[in-house]
Amino acid sequence: MKVGIINVTGYAGVELARILYQHPEVELASVTGRSAAGQSLSEVFPHLAGIDLAIEAKLGEVELAFAAMPHKESAKEIIPLLDKGIKVVDISADFRLKDASEYQRWYGFSHPAPRLLKDAAYGLPELHRAEISSAQLVANPGCYPTGAILALAPAVKAGLTSADIVIDSKSGVSGAGRSLSLPTHYSEANEDVSAYALEGHRHLPEIAQELKALNQGKPLPVTFVPHLIPMTRGILTTAYVTLASGKKGVKEIRKLYRDFYKDEPFVRVADSPPHTKQTSGSNLCLVYPTVDQRTGRLVVISAIDNLVKGAAGQAVQNMNLMLGLPETTGLEALAIYP
């Protein structure tokens, strides 16, 4: 199966190239990148020295494509591919939301193909495996929503939450992308921690959409505050939930989480609060639930690598499902330490 990457020159695109190069069942046949067209992949990214592939201006003949374009731009590239019958995993936000009106509010553009939103599978395999397996278009989740939804899904599905959810997430600077910006300059970000998007982050409607579906279609008010941390990779999320009446103890909560994720190859319920470094370079999400006995509040911590489970690794996991391959194919690498 020949696969390609649209916009290989971003962090998600280049991480896709690294993972796909080692995948035993597909051939990375074509990559694009307008700023680097005409150069070889290994010339632009020396750490990919084994991949002798030219970066093109337009995608070549492939049977499945990964679109790693910025939002709004991605949909324009994807629509013609779908018309040709090519399967697509979109890493942008362009097909994640089911309500087309939300794109104007959160992303500042009118969606060019709202008819496709209902058919696009939301690419979180732990919740949507069946839809992904039969989909032509999969919307890869955002990095923050991946960690937040996996932290909360078992509790919300079990009806343990009251109308009070607070999500605090801390991300490494690679989550801001490869384009230059003042907040991610070394002298600005180093030895500094800052909150941002307090008026509402673009990933918030994605989180709310999935939690609503888990909550029998009833919306849950969510406060989401992201933070920038001076590290390259990783997202640590701490979610706080006021438990509904008849609250459960720590042992019951942990059993609930272990039962929920018992057959999931890339979610592990940890025995102690996880660190981001424990997931670096891997497709794992580590989840640790506990209960603050003083307040009766559920506290759940999750850790992911934002470029793997939060982007490229999850995209390959989705590809495996779409192609009928074992879900873990090409993704079983352990985390890098230290």
Task: Give me the pLDDT at residue 246, please.
Answer: 66
Give the pLDDT confidence of 138-165 residue by residue, as tens digits.
999 999 999 999 999 999 999 999 878 9
- What's residue 296's pLDDT? 87
Place of tokens 């097909």: 95
What residue type is assigned to position 152 of the chain?
L
Count CB-CB contacts under 10 A for residue 64.
18
The pLDDT value recorded for residue 110 is: 94
Beta-bridged to residue 288, according to DSSP, are: 301
The single residue listed with the structure tokens 């981001």 is 276
What is the pLDDT averaged over residues 234-243?
96
End-to-end CA separation in angstroms for the chain: 35
Strand partners, 322: none
Q: 243-266, pLDDT tens digit by residue?
A: 987 667 899 999 999 999 999 999
Residue 206 pLDDT class (50, 70, 90 cuts): very high
pLDDT confidence of 17, banded at 50, 70, 90? very high
| Contact call for residues 290 and 250 (beta carbons, < 8 A) | yes
Q: Are 29 and 36 in contact (CB under 8 A)?
A: no
From the list 150, 171, 172, 163, the residue with the least C-alpha distance to 257 is 150
143, 152, 267, 304: the catalytic one is 143
Centre a 10 Å sphere on the Cβ of residue 293 and count the other Cβ atoms it contains: 10
CA angle 101–104–110, rounded 5-degree value = 85
CA distance 201 to 15: 24
> Looking at the predicted structure, is the pLDDT value of residue 193 above 80?
yes
Average pLDDT over residues 195-209: 97
Q: Quick one: pLDDT at residue 247?
A: 66
**Percent residues over pLDDT 90 in the chain:** 92
What is the pLDDT at residue 162?
A: 83
Residue 163's pLDDT is 78
285 is catalytic: no
The bridge status of strand 297-304 relative to strand 235-243 is: antiparallel
Cβ–Cβ under 8 Å, residues 275 and 299: no
Q: What is the pLDDT of residue 91?
A: 98
Residues 80-138 have pLDDT tens digits of 999 999 999 999 999 999 999 999 999 999 999 999 999 999 999 999 999 999 999 99
Q: Bigger pLDDT: 249 or 30? A: 30
Distance CA 306, CA 232 (A): 10
Predicted local distance difference test score (pLDDT) of residue 50: 86
Per the CB < 8 A criterion, the answer to whether 117 and 102 are in contact is no
What mean pLDDT is reported for the chain? 95
**What is the Cα–Cα distance from 89 to 68, expressed in whole angstroms?**
9
pLDDT at 143: 98
Q: How far apart are CA 228 and CA 55, in angstroms?
A: 32
Mean pLDDT of 38-65: 94
Strand ranges (E), the chain: 2-6, 27-32, 55-56, 64-67, 87-90, 121-122, 137-139, 161-171, 194-195, 222-228, 235-243, 267-269, 285-292, 297-304
Q: What is the mean pLDDT of residues 62-78?
A: 95
Structural domains in the chain plus CATH codes: 2-119 (3.40.50.720), 144-305 (3.30.360.10)
